[in-house]
Amino acid sequence: MNKKRAIILNTTIIFSFFLVSLRLTDLMIFNHTRLSERAKLQHVKVEDIQVRRGIIFDRRGRELALNLELESLYCDPENLNLDNDSMRRLASVMAKEPRVILSKIPAAGRFAWVERKLEPDTAEKVKRLNIKGLEFLTEAKRFYPKGELASHILGFVGVDNQALEGVELKYDRYIKTTGGKVFFERDASGKTLSSGVDIEAKGNNIVLTIDEGLQSIVEREIDKAIIKWRAAAASAIMMDPFTGEILALANRPAYDPNKGGSAGGSEKRNRAITDCYEPGSTFKIIIGVASLEEKIAKPDTLFDVSKGSIQVGGKTIRDVHKYGVLTFKEVIQKSSNVGSITIGMRLGKDRIYKYAKLLGVGKKTGIDLPGEVSGWIHPPERWSGTSLGAIPIGQEVAVTPLQMLRAYSAIANGGFLVRPHVVSEIISPNGQVLASLKDKEMKRIISARTAETFKDILKSVVEEGGTGKRASVDGNEVAGKTGTAQIIDPRTKRYSKEKFVSSFVGFVPADNPRLAIIVVIYEPKGQIYGGVVAAPVFRDIADQSLSYLDIPREDNPHHAPLLVSR
Residues 392, 489: Cα–Cα separation, whole Å: 22
Residues in the chain: 566
Buried b (16+ CB within 10 A) or exposed e, 296-330: bbeeeeebebeeeebebeeeebebeeebeebbbbb
Q: Are 135 and 76 in contact (CB under 8 A)?
A: yes
What's the gap between Cα 91 and its chain centre?
38
Name, in order, each residue with C-beta under 8 angstroms of 241's C-beta and a sequence gap of 6 or more: 408, 409, 412, 413, 418, 507, 513, 515, 516
- In sequence order, the β-bridge partners of residue 444 are 416
Q: Are 473 and 543 in contact (CB under 8 A)?
A: yes
What's the gap between Cα 114 and its chain centre?
32
Radius of gyration of the chain (CA): 34
What's the gap between Cα 304 and its chain centre?
46
Buried b (16+ CB within 10 A) or exposed e, 160-194: ebebbbbbbbbbbebbbbeeeeeebeeeeeeeeee
Q: Are 247 and 239 in contact (CB under 8 A)?
A: yes
Q: Are 148 and 254 in contact (CB under 8 A)?
A: yes
Give which of 369, 429, 363 is closest to 176, Cα–Cα: 429
Buried b (16+ CB within 10 A) or exposed e, 45-72: beeeeebbbbbbbbbeeeebbbbeebbb
Three-state secondary-structure class, residue 46: strand
Residues 137, 70: Cα–Cα separation, whole Å: 8
Give which of 345, 238, 249, 366 is closest to 291, Cα–Cα: 345
387 is catalytic: no
Give which of 432, 426, 433 is closest to 205, Cα–Cα: 426
Active-site choice (281, 291, 336, 340)? 281
Name, in order, each residue with C-beta under 8 angstroms of 291's C-beta and a sequence gap of 6 or more: 297, 328, 343, 346, 347
Three-state secondary-structure class, residue 51: strand
For the annotated catalytic residues, the residue numbers are: 281
